[in-house]
Structure 1
Amino acid sequence: MESNILVESSGIPSSTNRIQVVFKRELPKKPANTLAASISATAPSELLSLFDELEGLVGLQEAKKTIYEIYALLKINKEREKHHLKQEKQVFHMVFKGNPGTGKTTVARLFGKMFREMGILSKGHLIEVERADLVGEFIGHTAQKTRDLVKKALGGILFIDEAYSLARGGEKDFGKEAVDCLTKALEDSNKDFICIIAGYNEEMENFLDLNPGLPSRFPVHITFDDYSVDELLEIANIMARNKDFEITKDGLEKIKRTVSGIVSDPFQMNFSNARFIRNCIEKAIRVQAVRLIKANEFGRDDLVKLKPEDFSI
C-alpha cells in the first residue's frame, strides 16, 4: 500500500502550484475485471506496472476503461498490419470533465507515462498550465506564449486545467486568441503531442462551443465521477495509514456522517472530494497533537489513533 503527496509543477510561472494527492490501495492478486486481465496478459512489463498503478487508484473506472481500449486498439493495429489490412488511426486529445479532487491530474500524469510505453509519445512528460500561462497582455503575446508551451509539451502531454477560463473576459480578452492558436497547434503537432483540457462538466461543454474546430479535435471525453461515500472512507483510511495513523471506528463514523450529508445536499456545489478528505486528515493530525500534549499521552497507541474529537468537521 502506498500514498504520495506530490507538488505538480510545470516549471512555468503560475499563480498557484497545486498539491496533487495520489492515493493507492493494495491490489488484488488478479485484476478486478476481465478487460484488465486480458490486457495485462499481453502488456510488456513496464506498461503492466503502470496499469497496476492505475488499478491501485480508488475509483476512476471510466479512465481505466479508456486506457485499456487505447492499448487494445494499438495491439490490434499491429495484428492488422501483419495481414496488410487498413489500420485505425485515431487522435488522442482528451477532455477530462469532473469536479475538483477527482483525480484528473493524477490520471493525466499516468497517461503520459503509459503513452510513452505504448509508443504514442516519445517522452511522456506532463506540462500543467492554466489561463495565466497561456494568455498574454498585448496583441501577439498570447499566440507566442501558447506556441512556446506547445513546443515545450512536444513528446508529452499539455494539461490545461480549468480550460473554460480561456472563454471568460469578453470580446477584448486575449483568451480567445489562445484558443484559436491552440486549435491550430492541435492540427499541426498531433503526431507526438497530446493535449488534455480539464474542468467542470457543464463549463467544459460550453468551452468547446467557443471555436467550431475544437470539438472535433478532442475526440476522447472522460468523465471523472464524484467519489461515493464508501470510496471517500477508503481514501481516508489509506491516507491515514500511509502517514502511520489509524482512524478509530468512531472517527470513521464521524467522517461518514459529515461526507454523507455533503454528498446528499442538492445545493452543494463546491465539494472537493479527495482534497476534502486530505484536508480533514491533516487538520485532525494537528488537533490530535494538541490533545496529546495537553493529556501528556505519548505511547505508541496514543500517537497512532485519530479519534472523533480530532475531527472538527
Structure 2
Amino acid sequence: MNGQVKFIISQKHSSQQPESQEGALIERAFKSFTGLDQVKNALKSIAAWSVINQKRAEFGLKTHIQTHHMLFYGNPGTGKTTAARVMAKCLKDLKIIEKGHLVEAERADLVGEYIGHTALKTRELIRKAQGGVLFIDEAYSLSRGGEKDFGREAIDTLVKHMEDQNEQFICVLAGYKKEMTGFLKMNTGLKSRFSHILYFPDYRLNELNRIANSMFSERDYQMSKIANERLVQLIREQDSSGGNARFVRNLTECIIRAQAVRLLKYESLTKKDCMLITEEDVIEGMAEYKKNKQEI
C-alpha cells in the first residue's frame, strides 16, 4: 500500500512541466514590483499571451491581432510610470518589441502652436517611440482647450498611428479616473484602441513601508527596528489621503540627507555607521520634507 502511494506521488511530480524560459523571464521582470497584485497579474498575463501568440504562429495556428496599447488610471504616485517601464523592458526581453525604451510625454510635447504643427510633433514622438513605449501622462490635458484647441489634432493623429503602426510601438495613456473617462469620449475610436485598461489603486501602508525599505536596501542602507517603526508611524500620519509612492521616494531622499548631516559630526566613521538609518534620521528627514513642501 505504501509503495503504491509513493508511486502515485512520483508520477504526479514527473508529469509537471518545468517553467519555460519566457515564463521565468516574466516572473523575474515583476519580482521587484511592490504591491498592486491585480495590476501585476494583468501585465504578466498580457506578456504571456504575447509569447503564446508567437508560438501559435510558429506552429501555423490561428493567432489574434496583437494590440498592446494600454490605459492606466489612478491617483498620482501609484506606480503607473514604473509599470510602463517594467512592461517595456519585459516585452523587449521577450522579443515582442525591438528596443524596449520608454518615451515619456505630456501635452506640451504633442501640441503645437499653429495649424499642422501638432501633427508633426505627435508623429515625431511616435517615431522616437518606435520599438518601445510612448507613455503620455495626464493624457486628458489634451482635451482641455475646447473645440478649436490643437489638442484634438494630437489625439486624432495618435489614434491613426495606433491603428496603422500597431506592431511598431505601444502607446500607454495615464491619468486620473474621472478625467480619463471624459477624455476617452473625445474621439469615437480612442477607447476601442485600448484592449488593456488597468486601474492602479493606492498603496497600502505595509506596501509603502516595503517600498521605502527596498529603496534603502538598493543603496546599501539599513534601518534600525526603531527607525522603521517611526517611519511607519509617520507614513500613516502624513499619507491619510491614500498610498503615494512618490511621497515615500521623496521622504527617503530627505532621510538619507539627514543621516549625512548627522554623520559629519562624527570624528571617525565605520561601514556600519554609513549604512545605518536611525530614528533621529527619520524624524529629521520628515521635518525637512514638510519644510520643503511648505516652501513650494
Fold match by TM threshold 0.5 = yes
1:131 positional shift:
1.0
In structure 1, the partner of 2:21 is 43
Moved more, 272-281 or 72-81: 72-81
Q: 1:246 aligns with which of 222, 225, 241?
A: 222
Q: 2:246 aligns with which of 275, 281, 285?
A: 275
Task: Give the conservation status (yes or no) of the 8 Å contact 2:51–2:94.
Answer: no
Q: Describe the SS at the equivalent of 2:87.
A: helix
1:3-51 alpha-carbon deviations (Å, 9 max, x no partner)? xxxxxxxxxxxxxxxxxxxxxxxxxxxxxxxxxxx9981234xx73453
The sequence identity of aligned pairs, in percent, is 46
The reply to whether residue 93 of structure 1 matches residue 69 of structure 2 is yes
Task: Give the conservation status (yes or no) of the 8 Å contact 1:128–1:161.
Answer: yes
Task: Give the conservation status (yes or no) of the 8 Å contact 2:72–2:173.
Answer: yes
Q: 1:310 aligns with which of 281, 284, 290?
A: 281
2:48 and 2:55 mapped to 1: Cα distance?
11
The reply to whether residue 229 of structure 1 matches residue 205 of structure 2 is yes
CA shift in 2, pair 1:253/1:212, >3 Å: same
The reply to whether residue 104 of structure 1 matches residue 80 of structure 2 is yes
2:179 and 2:219 mapped to 1: Cα distance?
36
Moved more, 91-100 or 141-150: 91-100
1:206 positional shift:
1.9
Q: 1:168 aligns with which of 130, 144, 155?
A: 144
The reply to whether residue 134 of structure 1 matches residue 105 of structure 2 is no
Task: Give the conservation status (yes or no) of the 8 Å contact 1:285–1:310.
Answer: yes
1:107 positional shift:
2.1
Q: Which amino acid aligns with 2:185?
A: D
In structure 2, the partner of 1:52 is 28
Q: 2:176 aligns with which of 180, 183, 200?
A: 200
1:85 positional shift:
5.0
1:81 positional shift:
5.3
2:18 and 2:206 mapped to 1: Cα distance?
27
In structure 2, the partner of 1:124 is 100
1:123 positional shift:
2.7
CA shift in 2, pair 1:290/1:144, >3 Å: same
CA shift in 2, pair 1:234/1:79, >3 Å: closer
CA shift in 2, pair 1:115/1:294, >3 Å: closer
CA shift in 2, pair 1:75/1:179, >3 Å: closer
The reply to whether residue 287 of structure 1 matches residue 258 of structure 2 is yes
Task: Give the conservation status (yes or no) of the 8 Å contact 2:100–2:133.
Answer: yes
CA shift in 2, pair 1:40/1:297, >3 Å: farther
Q: Which amino acid aligns with 2:89?
A: K
In structure 2, the partner of 1:22 is none
1:91 positional shift:
1.3
* Greater Rg over alpha carbons, structure: 2
1:285 positional shift:
2.0
Moved more, 245-254 or 83-92: 83-92
1 or 2, which has the higher helix percentage? 2
1:159 and 1:302 mapped to 2: Cα distance?
41
2:46 and 2:168 mapped to 1: Cα distance?
16
Task: Give the conservation status (yes or no) of the 8 Å contact 2:140–2:175.
Answer: yes
CA shift in 2, pair 1:231/1:211, >3 Å: same
The reply to whether residue 258 of structure 1 matches residue 219 of structure 2 is no
Q: CA RMSD of the aligned region, Å?
A: 2.7
Gaps of 5+ in 2: 1-15, 287-296
Task: Give the conservation status (yes or no) of the 8 Å contact 1:39–1:72.
Answer: no
CA shift in 2, pair 1:78/1:289, >3 Å: closer
Moved more, 242-251 or 133-142: 242-251
Q: 1:298 aligns with which of 269, 272, 291?
A: 269
